[in-house]
Structure 1
Amino acid sequence: MTKPPSDDTLTHSGLEAHHGGRILLIACGALAHEILTLKRLNGWDHMDLTCLPAKLHLYPDKITEAVAEAVENNRAAYDHIFVVYADCGTGGQLAAKCADLGVEMIAGPHCYSFFEGNDAFAARGDDDMRAFFLTDFLVRQFDAFVWKPMGLDRHPELRDMIFGNYTTLIYQAQTEDPALLSKARACADRLGLAFEYRFTGYGDLKTSLENQASKY
């Protein structure tokens, strides 16, 4: 079974795989735990996983190039490649590149949408316009992916300026974990935001991978 990747390296499994119904998932490292769990629970042994560093979300202009490189490096070894990135701030560039490369990608503007379900997320519309979202991964990595990159560890006085237009922190939980729930509440307190808990499970990530798994 593929081991979860670190945030600093491009890790992958199954590079020695040959044609015979093999599927490669090229995913954001922030989704590694969830994808590996779904693979294990569903017995998707014909799927391999390549994860790009989760920190690319801090530099969305670099995502498209990194995904394209991963596709080209692995294309010959697999029957099918599925990109487990939503648009993720690329302004449509990732979708255009995937179309050029002839590979599919998960639908949605970002992981907050597909975890909740793209239709359900869209239906909420303006209700969530002033919400800041965290997933299981971002709760675990709050300091590394939110607090420090925004400079709040060095300049906590910036908090109200950065988050002044937000009213609520919404924790979209993939798992029912009391420790993560407690930490998410603490994150909301640190940001000075009201707290809302939504158990989403895996949402459209699960259904999208089910669809891919059934193809081969």
Structure 2
Amino acid sequence: MLNRDDENYAVYLSQAIGVTLADGMLINTWEDLEPQTLNALRTNEILRSVVKYKPVYTVGPVNKRYEPDGLKGEVVEWLVKQPDRSVIYVSFGSEGTISAEQINEFGMGWIIFKPGQSDATRDYLPEGFLTRTQKVGLVVSSWAPQVEILNHTSVAGFLTHCGWNSTLESVTNGVPMIAWPLYAEQKMNAAMLTEELKVAVRPEVLPTKKSGREGGGC
């Protein structure tokens, strides 16, 4: 917002103006999930004035279903072979990135998801990782059927960037989370999940402090 030559500035400004012109707000959430936020949008005079005193409606949870051809069967078939509550699912979303050093720290038996990179994903993994984890882990190098994964009985937890889609999918499937927000509203989501809803935990040491690199921070 400080750099008005940035194309993002024009986009955000247009969206902000659009909010004031709307006849109402439809939010992908529900009353019990965010009562304080919804109450503020409906009763706080400053926030109500932003939306021109228009009504706010909750329409969630609305979860997107994505079912890639071929890959879904492979992933679900692998999950079926795992004991109940034995798998930690790791995904930082379609835009999230972490350092190669941080990837190297991820342990055996975790799903590593890097969309759009295909075999390039494997270049980021520690030497011998695929061989060492062949029988206890699964590397997904393209889009993963996340809804199906989080709904599976073998999944015990979700290390997540706290994007809103991932948040809703995890909460509605009853999967506890390890919060590792990266950017945008994800830090606010992480605070809500850990401090208010108590359905997530954070690393004891901030990822940025431990690795000495910029990137994901909780």
Kindly indicate which of the two structures has a greater share of residues assigned to helix. Answer: 1
Largest Rg, 1 or 2: 2
Kindly indicate which of the two structures has a greater share of residues assigned to strand. Answer: 1
Q: TM-score under structure 1 normalisation?
A: 0.30
Q: TM-score under structure 2 normalisation?
A: 0.30
